[in-house]
């Protein structure tokens, strides 16, 4: 997605950043909004030169409410660590205080971005392995886009398997962009192989698997589609998506011998946990 030109108000935002921004965030500009569906969108902003993150991290975005209070929500960073912009994948939740504000945001308008990034779902926390599985439902795809754009990911693993589960085919965001990732300038020389497995649960789509990820693991269809075995000796797994899926996968993978990451004990599986924050 190519960003559209910033609003002439950019110079005003530069002044605002220097004079009124609170210590924990900067005031940035919305460069582009891409609407995948009525309630699914990507937001691209400019990026403070001082903002740093590790692929897999999330940051809080803030929008000004009608009462003057800033409403904050966490979003995984979907852009690459080397990009000059930031990008976030979001779903609009009916009645959500942040969603109601985000639905009205237009290109060229201001948005607040935390100066810090957070999270433990990064590849450096894993024990050495051969295959990296990225299991996402819905907007859980966001952090995996950043991880896939990181050269270190391709240097560390032989096989990268992206599994994206959605209800309807139109929600398979970034499908074309994922296909192009291995051909990017920084990754083209890598011998690692990328496998993309779409999952659509509520309608038929040629080339997509038709059941939820836990069921596809249980009956072996996921491994068959990927052409790679799920094996604790070689597989490292990241899970980001709805809490129910995460709970089921935690039980299922533990029963198969996979061990979750701990701060002082690298393991085989990592889960993104910020879904426990208040609704959007």
Q: Is residue 2 part of a domain?
A: no
User: Which tens digits make up the pLDDT trace of 34-80?
Assistant: 999 999 999 999 999 999 999 999 999 999 998 889 999 999 999 99
- Which structural domain range is residue 138 located in? 123-275
How many domains does the chain divide into? 2
Q: Are residues 136 and 39 part of one domain?
A: no
Q: Map 238-280 to HEC letters.
A: EEECCHHHHHHHHHHHHHCCCCECECCECECEEECCHHHCCCC
Q: Is residue 280 part of a domain?
A: no
| Single residue among 114, 145, 170 that ends a domain in this structure | 114
| Residue whose C-alpha is closest to residue 107's, from 32, 161, 159 | 32
Q: Are residues 265 and 195 part of one domain?
A: yes
Q: Are residues 140 and 27 part of one domain?
A: no
CB 96 within 8 A of CB 65: no
Q: Are residues 18 and 140 part of one domain?
A: no
User: Which tens digits make up the pLDDT trace of 219-274?
Assistant: 999 999 999 999 999 999 999 999 999 999 999 999 999 999 877 788 999 998 76
**pLDDT value, residue 244:** 94
Q: Are residues 220 and 142 part of one domain?
A: yes
Q: Is residue 135 part of a domain?
A: yes
Q: Is residue 150 part of a domain?
A: yes
User: Which tens digits make up the pLDDT trace of 9-25?
Assistant: 333 434 344 334 446 99
Q: Is residue 266 part of a domain?
A: yes
pTM above 0.85, yes or no: yes
Kind plus residue range of the DSSP H or E element containing 202? none
* CATH assignment at residue 144: 3.40.50.80
* CATH assignment at residue 93: 2.40.30.10
| Residue whose C-alpha is closest to residue 73's, from 65, 61, 64 | 61
Work out the number of other CB atoms within 10 angstroms of the CB of residue 8.
8
Q: Are residues 189 and 107 part of one domain?
A: no
Q: In angstroms, rounded to a whole number, what is the distance separating the alpha carbons of residues 114 and 270?
A: 24
Rounded to 5 degrees, what are φ and ψ at 187? -120, -10
The beta strand positions in 146-190, using DSSP E, are 159-166
**pLDDT value, residue 278:** 44
Q: Are residues 74 and 155 part of one domain?
A: no
Q: Are residues 141 and 260 part of one domain?
A: yes
Q: Are residues 253 and 201 part of one domain?
A: yes
User: Which tens digits make up the pLDDT trace of 108-151?
Assistant: 999 999 999 999 899 998 989 999 999 999 999 999 999 999 99
Q: Are residues 63 and 167 part of one domain?
A: no
Q: Are residues 140 and 102 part of one domain?
A: no
**pLDDT value, residue 160:** 98
| Single residue among 81, 114, 147 that ends a domain in this structure | 114
Q: In angstroms, rounded to a whole number, what is the distance separating the alpha carbons of residues 162 and 133?
A: 6
């Amino acid at each position: 997605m190519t960003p559209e030109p910033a609003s002439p108000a950019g110079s005003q935002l530069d002044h605002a950043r220097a004079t009124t921004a609170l210590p924990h965030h900067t005031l940035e500009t919305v460069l582009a909004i891409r609407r995948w569906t009525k309630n699914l969108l990507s937001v691209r902003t400019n990026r403070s030169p001082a903002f740093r993150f590790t692929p897999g991290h999330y940051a809080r975005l803030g929008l000004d409410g009608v009462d003057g209070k800033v409403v904050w929500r966490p979003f995984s960073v979907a852009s690459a660590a080397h990009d000059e912009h930031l990008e976030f994948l979001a779903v609009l939740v009916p009645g959500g205080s942040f969603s109601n504000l985000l639905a009205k945001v237009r290109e060229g308008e201001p948005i607040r971005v935390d100066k810090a990034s957070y999270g433990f779902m990064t590849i450096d926390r894993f024990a050495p392995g051969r295959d990296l599985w990225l299991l996402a439902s819905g907007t859980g795809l966001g952090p995996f886009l950043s991880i896939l754009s990181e050269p270190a990911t391709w240097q560390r693993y032989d096989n990268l398997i992206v599994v994206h589960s959605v209800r309807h085919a139109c929600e398979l965001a970034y499908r074309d962009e994922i296909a192009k990732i291995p051909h990017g300038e920084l990754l083209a020389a890598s011998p690692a192989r990328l496998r993309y497995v779409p999952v659509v649960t509520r309608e038929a789509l040629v080339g997509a698997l038709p059941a939820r990820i836990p069921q596809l693991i249980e009956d072996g269809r996921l491994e068959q589609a990927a052409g790679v075995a799920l094996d604790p000796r070689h597989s490292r797994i990241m899970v980001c998506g709805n809490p129910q899926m995460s709970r089921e996968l935690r039980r299922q993978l533990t029963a198969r011998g996979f061990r979750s990451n701990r701060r002082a004990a690298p393991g085989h599986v990592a889960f993104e946990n910020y879904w426990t924050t208040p609704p959007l």
